[in-house]
Amino acid sequence: MAHFLSTCILILIASHLVDSSGVFELKVHSFTSPGGVCKNSQNCLIFFRVCLKHSQDVMSADPRCAYGSGRTANLSADPSAISNSAPIKVNFTFKWPARFSVMIEAWHADSSSEDQSNPISFLATKGGVTTGENSVQDERFGEKSELRYSYHVMCDEFYYGESCSDYCRPRNDTFGHYTCDSTGQRICLPGWKGEYCTDPICSPGCSEKNGDCKTPGECKCRLGWQGPLCNECQQHPGCVHGTCDQPFQCNCKEGWGGLYCNEDLNFCTNHKPCKNDATCTNTGQGSYTCTCKPGFSGTNCEIETNECNSNPCKNGGSCNDLVNDYSCTCPQGFYGKNCEVSAMTCADGPCFNSGTCVETETGSYSCRCPPGYMGSNCEKKIDRCSSDPCANGGQCLDLGHRVVCQCRPGFKGLRCEINIDECARNPCRNAGTCVDGINDYTCRCTLGFTGKDCNIRADACSFLPCKNGGTCYTHFSGPVCQCPPGFMGLRCEYDQLPTNPPAVSSFPIALAISFTLGLITLTLVLCATIILLKQMRRGNRSMFSAVRNDLDTINNRNSVISNTQSSYKEKEALLIPGGLFKVSNKDAELSSGIMDTLCKDNNKQKMLEYNLAKDEKNTKDKLDLKNSESSILVPPLSFPKGDLYHPVYIIPEPRVFATEV
C-alpha cells in the first residue's frame, strides 16, 4: 500500500514539474513623443502591447510572440492616466528562461473609425530577470517617443524557484504531511518523515525490525512479537515452563522437558511429593517413585501401616499401634508379646458371661462361651445386627437367640425385603390405573375423573381452555378445541395465514396422465406383437427352404421355377456307361400343380425305370410337356443293373424324395 501511495505522489509531482506556472508583469510609467501623442489629448485613446520572445541579438520581423503577449486597456493619452494604468500581465506555463527579448508597442485606439488602431511607436530590447528579484526599471528612447517602464516575474501559487519550476503545495493527507518554505522545499509536519513526509515516526524505542506504525507515536508489533517496544518474542502456544529467542519457540527451562516444557524432570526437588521421610526418585517425564520407610505405604508413603489390623494380641489382649510396631496389653493371667502365654487355670475363674472353663493337657484352659458371646474368656458380646441384615431401612433387634427386623410401613418379610402392594385392593375407581409406591399408591385417572381414587368427576375442558373464541369438546383422547375462522393450533392460539385456493382444472390432470400412459403402453404391445409375428413367419420360411435344399442335395436335383408361366424346364442327364462311375441325376422339379393332379388322378405309387442299352448311342430324349400333363416327368436316364445307383422312388403325398442305395 505504501509503495502504491509513493507511486501516486511521484506521478502527481512530475505532472506539476512539467506544468510550471508564473506571470510576467510590465508597468508603463510614462510615454511621451516630441510631436505629441495626440493632437487632441482629451479625446485621444491609446494602448500598449507587450510581445515576449526568446532572446535575440537582432529582433526578427516575425510577429509571433513565442513566450506570449499582452496589452493594456484603452487609455487616455493624458500622462496621469498612463502612469496609473494597470500593468500588462503575460502568463506562462513553461520553465522561465534566464534571458528573453521584449517588444513594447504603442498604438492609437480610435473608436470612431473602422481601423481602431494604428501604430505610434515600437521599442525592442533584451532583458534578463529571475523570479523573486525586484522590478527592473528601464528607459527607452525611440525616434519619435520616450518610454519609461519596469518589469518583473512572479511565480504562481505553489510554484517556486528561479524558473517557477519547483512545485510544492502544503498538504496533510494520505499523500503527504508537510508545508513549504520560501524556496519550495518540503518541511515535514511533526511525527512524519521521508521524502514526501508519508512515513510516520513510531514511538521512541520501537523496534524497526519487529514493529511498525501507521500513525505517529504508536508501535504495533508484527506477528510473533509483543511488548511495548515489540522486542519480546511470543512463545509457542501452550508453552508452560519455557522461553524463546525467536517467535513461537519453546526452549525449556532447567528441570523441565517435553514439547511444551510441561514435564517436570526434577519432580522430587520441585514438589517433594513423598511423605514421612520417604526417599523420592525421579523417573523422568514428570514421574517419580517413593521408597517408604517401614510402617508406611501408599504412592507417596502417606498411609501409616496399622499393625493391629491383623489382631496379633491373643487371649483378649488390647493392641496398641506404634510406628512400625505394636504392643499388647494382656489381661490378668496372660503375658508375652501377643499375650499368648497363660498363667491362669480354671481355678482362677477366667471365663466371663457364664462361660464354661475346661482344663487342657498343657496346664492351661479354654472357655466355652454361651450363645451371644465370644473371645478367649467369653468377654466379647456378639452383635448380630452389625451386619445390617434388615433391608429397606428396617430396624434390627438382637434378642440373643435370634434376630428380629422391625419393618418400616409399606414393607414386610423376615428381612423387610417385600414391598407391600397397595394396589392389590384395587383402590382406583372409574377404570383408573393404579401405580404402586412405598406405603402409598397413585391413581392415573381416565378422562373426566380426578381425585386420589378417581372418584370425582372433572371437566376436561377446564384444564385446557380454548382461546380466541374457540369451542371446547370432550374427546376420549382429551379436550379438543374447534377454532373459529382465522385461528389454528391446539388451543386456537395462532393466527392462520391466508392461503390462495388452488386453481381447479376443468380436466383432471391425473386422468390425462393415466390415459396418455395407457396409449403408450398399448402402442408398445402392438409393436411387439407385429415384430413377433414377422419373426415367426420368417422362421417358417427358412425352415421350409432348408428342407427343400436338403432334398435337392440328396436327389441331385436342380430346377428353375418360373413365377409367370407356372412351368418348369428339365435339364438333361448325362450318363457315363460302363464301370463304377459317379452319375449325376437331374430330376425335374415337381410343381405344386402337377403334384395336385397326381393326387387326384392316381393315388398309387408309380415307379418309372428307364434303361439304356449298352450299344445305344448317346442321345438325348426330351419330354413333351404338352402330351404328358398328368404324368411325372423324369429324364430319360437308365442305370445298369449291376451299377451302384438304383431307380428313384417318388412318394407324392408326403412330398418326400428318397433314393435307395
Q: Which three cell numbers stand for residue 340?
A: 499368648
| Average pLDDT, integer, range 132-146 | 69
pLDDT of residue 563: 40
What is the structure's pLDDT at 499? 64
Residues found in the chain: 661
pLDDT reported for residue 37: 64
233, with CB counted inside 10 A (0-12, 13-18, 19+), is middle
Which of 115-124, 545-554, 648-657 tops mean pLDDT? 115-124
Alpha carbon of 326 to those of 318, 319, 485: distances in Å? 10, 7, 93
Q: Identify the residue with better confidence: 226 or 371.
A: 226
Residue 488 pLDDT greater than 80, yes or no? yes
Return the pLDDT at 2: 47
Task: Identify which has the larger pLDDT, 147 or 591.
Answer: 147
Alpha-carbon distance 47 to 76, whole Å? 9
pLDDT of residue 204: 93
Q: Over range 646-661, report the average pLDDT.
A: 42
Cell 468377654: give the residue.
379
Q: Band of the pLDDT at 521, cuts 50, 70, 90?
A: very high
String of DSSP letters for 135-179: PEEEEEE-SS-EEEEEEEEEEPTTEESTTS-EE---EEETTEEEE
Band the pLDDT of 40: cuts 50, 70, 90: low
CA–CA separation, 301 and 91 (whole Å): 104
Distance CA 283, CA 268 (A): 10
Residues 307-328, mean pLDDT to the nearest whole number: 86
Q: Are 289 and 280 spatial neighbours (Cβ–Cβ below 8 Å)?
A: yes
Cβ atoms of 588 and 634 within 8 Å: the answer is: yes
Least reliable range by pLDDT among 4-8, 288-292, 578-582: 578-582
Q: b vs e for 49-58, b when ≥16 Cβ sit within 10 Å of the residue's Cβ?
A: bbbbbeeeee
Q: For residue 488, which amino acid is it?
A: M
- Alpha-carbon gap, residue 45 to 88, rounded angstroms: 17
* Range with the poorest average pLDDT among 151-165, 352-366, 418-432: 352-366
For the cut 60, the answer to whether the pLDDT of residue 607 exceeds it is no
Q: How far is C-alpha 352 from the geometric centre of its chain's CA atoms?
A: 88
Question: Which residues, in sequence order, are CB contacts of 420 under 8 Å at separation 6+?
Answer: 410, 411, 412, 439
The answer, as to whether pTM is greater than 0.85, is no
Tell which wins on pLDDT, 445 or 473: 445
Q: Which residue has the cell 487371649?
A: 315
> pLDDT by residue (tens digit) across 420-466?
998 989 999 998 999 998 889 999 988 778 888 998 887 777 777 89
DSSP letter at 333 equals: T
Q: d(Cα 116, Cα 110) in Å, to the nearest integer?
A: 5
Report d(CA 125, CA 123) in Å as an integer.
Answer: 7
Q: Which residues pair with 141 in a beta bridge?
A: 146
Residue 2 or residue 344, greater confidence: 344
Residue type, 114: E
Burial class (CB in 10 A: 0-12, 13-18, 19+), 445: buried
Task: State the DSSP H helix or E strand holding residue 268, giving kind and residue range, or none if neither.
Answer: helix 267-271
Return mean pLDDT, the chain.
76
CA-closest candidate to residue 26, choices 7, 8, 50: 50
Integer-rounded Cα radius of gyration of the chain: 71
309 CB burial (10 A radius; 0-12, 13-18, 19+): exposed
In the predicted structure, residue 386 carries a pLDDT above the cut 50:
yes
Of 107-116, 313-322, 342-351, 586-595, which gets the smallest average pLDDT? 586-595
Asked if the model's pLDDT at residue 156 lies above 50, the reply is: yes
Q: Between β-strands 146-155 and 22-32, what pairing exists: parallel, antiparallel or unpaired?
A: antiparallel
Task: Report how far apart, in Å, the C-alpha atoms of 217 and of each of 174, 572, 585 are.
Answer: 17, 131, 129
The distance from CA 617 to its chain's CA centroid, rounded to whole angstroms, is 107
Which residues, at least 6 apart from 529, have a Cβ–Cβ distance to it below 8 Å? Answer: none
Q: What is the pLDDT of residue 49?
A: 92
Phi, psi values for residue 149, rounded to 5°: -150, 170
Mean pLDDT in residue range 587-609: 38
Calculate mean pLDDT across residues 229-247.
Answer: 93
Lowest mean pLDDT among 306-310, 326-330, 345-349, 361-365: 361-365
Q: How confident is the model over 248-280, as pLDDT tens digits?
A: 999 998 878 888 988 878 778 778 889 988 888
Residue 32 clears pLDDT 90, i.e. is over it: no
Higher pLDDT, 76 or 286: 76
Tally the C-alpha atoms within 13 A of residue 497's C-alpha that lie toward its C-beta. Answer: 2
DSSP state letter for 209: T
| Cα 233 to the center of its chain, rounded Å | 34
Distance CA 202, CA 521 (A): 87
Strand intervals (E) in 440-495: 441-444, 449-450, 456-457, 471-475, 478-482, 487-488, 494-495
